[in-house]
Structure 1
Amino acid sequence: MPRSERARLVFTDVDETLITRKSLFDFLDFYCAGRYGAEGARRAARVRDDLTARTAAGLPRADANREYFRAWRGEPVAAVEEWARRWFTERSAAEGFYVREVAAELRGHRAAGASIALVSGSFRPLLQPIADAVGAEHVLCARPERCGRVYTGALIGAPVIGEEKRRLVRELLAQYAHIDPADCYGYGDDASDLPMLAEVGHAVLVGGGAGAGRR
């Protein structure tokens, strides 16, 4: 683990990189079943199964991410935030919630004085409790549109996947002119994380994907 005194930023994907779950689908199941019972559980399963099948048939992940957020149309923001806190409390208490090696790396980076940024296609109600738990200062994520007290089902801006991750990483790096991107670290698990990882000097592809490892 790094122990250098040089200032650095550390960027990490979340789902299946820092945590072992796919947060968006897991939370949709948790929320719909908890709030609406059996019918809610069936609704969540339909959304999940439809998007899984369409992605397997070639729907780009960015489009699938945008489609996912349509499932939240009309849901009260306050209720989603409350259930997100419940989700994190329950899931994080279970063994194996975090990817142990990545969580340990982040602790090492923080001990060396680095600032942590979560970069995810998920949204802030799910990510903020994780950020608080691992000491992340920045959360770069999807921004569901609101109308009054409810979600509209639309996103503000692009889904945070692929090139949008790269853009957000570059934007944050630009705010830290004293930090050399070559000194920074990135963690991801999927080919869609590669644009983000290409922006830092030390990239780690987590898991069994082709090219996994550190550079």
Structure 2
Amino acid sequence: MSVPARLVFSDVDETLIRCKSMFDFLDFHFGRRYGRRGTERAREVRETLAALSASGTPREHANRVYYRAWTGEPAHLVAASGAEWFERRSAAGSFYIPETRNALLGHRADGAAVVLVSGSFPAILDPIAADIGAVHLVCSRPEVRDGVLTGELVGEPVIGGEKRAAVRRLLSAHPHIDAADCHAYGDHISDLPMLTEVGHPVVVGDRDLAGRLPGGLFLPGDDGALSAGA
């Protein structure tokens, strides 16, 4: 692989794709595998997570609660389900936010390496990374033991400060690249630690967040127009 000219970091949910992938995939997998019982299980998990969010529970903790719902699922079946989920969702034509996807493809054409950074997990993200041509995938990693998901994570959820740490690790591994030349795309306050690590932060869909990044750009996500964030 050629040496990249710069790195471009991108969140996934509601930045690159329109949906909240973890919830959508939860419904997809459990509904198809277990029928009505699985659909009800997925609904219970979503309600629990909504209650945690409403109570102000940190997203990092809620992320771990989500992965505990996968306890006992065979890893190979989850991966196969993820591939099918991507094939079905992406075929609909409204899966990606086209402005972000086009921007990332443009960066690739200019010699940048695309890095997807997400609290989601490989079963969901691997097909997206392959389709978008991402060189690196930094995400939450479910623990697998004897081929089965344990419900725990290997390491920390990739949220907030972990996204900043991911940017710094990759920049350290590419000492020829200046952070000031790099781009990052995000849509949520939890992406702010990642966005502030690069010279060209781009906020998708949230003008208030863009306003917190002097010199950053705002991407509406509907007409592709870029404007100054502050």
TM-score, reference length from structure 2: 0.89
Structure 1 distance, partners of 2:23, 2:209, is 27
| Number of positions where the alignment pairs a residue of Structure 1 with one of Structure 2 | 210
Alignment of 1:86-105 (within 5 A): 86-105=84-103
Q: Extract unaligned runs of 5+ from structure 2.
A: 211-215, 218-228
Q: Deviations over 1:82-127 (max 9, x none)?
A: 1000000000111210011100101110110100000000001111
Write out aligned runs for 1:26-45 (5 A): 26-45=24-43
Question: Does 2:36 correspond to 1:63?
Answer: no
Partner-residue secondary structure (3-state), 1:205: strand
Q: How far apart are residue 208 of structure 1 and its match?
A: 2.6
How far apart are 1:48 and its partner, in Å? 0.6
CA RMSD of aligned residues (A): 1.1
* Structure 1, 132-141 or 202-211: larger mean CA deviation: 202-211
2:124 maps to 1:126: yes
Aligned ranges 1:108-127 → 2 under 5 Å: 108-127=106-125
1:80 corresponds in structure 2 to 78
Higher relative contact order (CA 8 A, sep 6+): 1
- Aligned partner of 2:179 among 178, 181, 192: 181
The residue aligned with 1:167 is 165
**Partner residue of 1:204?**
202
TM-score (norm 1): 0.95
**Cα deviations across residues 26-55 of structure 1 (Å, max 9, x unaligned)?**
000000000000110000010011101211
Q: Which residue is equivalent to 2:220?
A: none
1:56 partner amino acid: A
Task: Quote the Cα distance in structure 2 between the aligned partners of 1:151 and 1:30.
Answer: 17
The alignment-based identity, stated in percent, is: 56
Which 5+ residue runs of structure 1 have no aligned equivalent?
Answer: 1-5
Instruction: Indicate the residue corresponding to 2:47 in structure 1.
Output: 49
Letter in structure 1 aligned against 2:26: L
